Every structure is written in structure tokens, then in C-alpha cells.
Amino acid sequence: MSDNIEGIIIGHTLYTHQNYQENRKMVSLIKKTLDKNEEALLELKNFPNGGAASSYDLGYVITQIIYRLGEEEIVLMVEKFPNEEKTFEGLIDVGLEYGDNDYDGKRDNKRFNNEFPKLFKYLDEKH
């Protein structure tokens, strides 16, 4: 298992706490999400990650995907989710706060509402 899938960095705790089959599934979901498959994004956001630091790593994967595809594309994908699934602010928050989305070797400590205002507003209106 690589810690880099098509340029998306997977934090160590996320892929080491999964078995081989789970890791293959996660890789597939990341690739499909990058191909703008909303069902894959839905599965990825709900991917069993074991909690704690692995949740931060999953959030980091998701924020990298948002940066790659753009928040407008992510909003279009999330619009197709069932209403009860339009909740993943926590993962995005920790991905921005603890992730290194600018790849400078330091955690970013960014905030969802500032970094992705359109997606934040869309999700906020759905609650």
C-alpha cells in the first residue's frame, strides 16, 4: 500500500490500521472520487477508519480531494447525497486543521468556513 494515491497523501495511521482488503477499497474510492463519482465520495466519507488520528488522516484525504477537484465540483457531488448524509464538516475541519494541504511540512490550522466558503454554506443550509 502506497501512502500516495494519484497525488493524494494518505496519513500513516489511516492505512496502517486497515487490513489489505480495506486499503484496496480505500484506494479504489479515492480514485473514483477523483473521477467525480459522488457514490465513491459518499463511501469515502463514511469509510471505517478506527477513529482518533485515523479520522484526522481521512479528513486530510478528503480536503486534498476538495482542493484537487474544487469546492464547486464537490458541492455538485454532495447535492446528490441523501439529506442525512450531507454531514461531514467534522472530517473537513480536522483535515484542514491538522493536514498539510500546502505541503510545507507543517500542519495548516485552517478553518472550513474560510477555506471552502461555498461548501460550508451549502452544508450549513442542509442542517
Residues 37 and 8: their CA atoms lie apart, in Å, by 16
Q: Which of 6-15, 42-51, 105-114 has the highest average model confidence (pLDDT)?
A: 105-114
Looking at residue 80, its pLDDT comes to 95
Q: What is the pLDDT of residues 88-105, one digit of tens each?
A: 899 999 999 988 888 888
Let me know if 113 is exposed, middle or buried by CB neighbors in 10 A (0-12, 13-18, 19+): middle
pLDDT at 1: 45
pTM: 0.92
List the grid coordinates of 22.
480495506
Taking the C-alpha atoms of residue 92 and residue 99, their distance in angstroms, rounded to an integer, is 10
Distances (CA, A) of 92 to 2, 39, 48, 113, 127: 22, 18, 16, 10, 16
**47-98 pLDDT per residue, tens:** 987 767 788 899 999 999 999 999 999 999 999 999 999 988 999 999 999 8
Percent of the chain whose predicted confidence (pLDDT) is above 70: 97
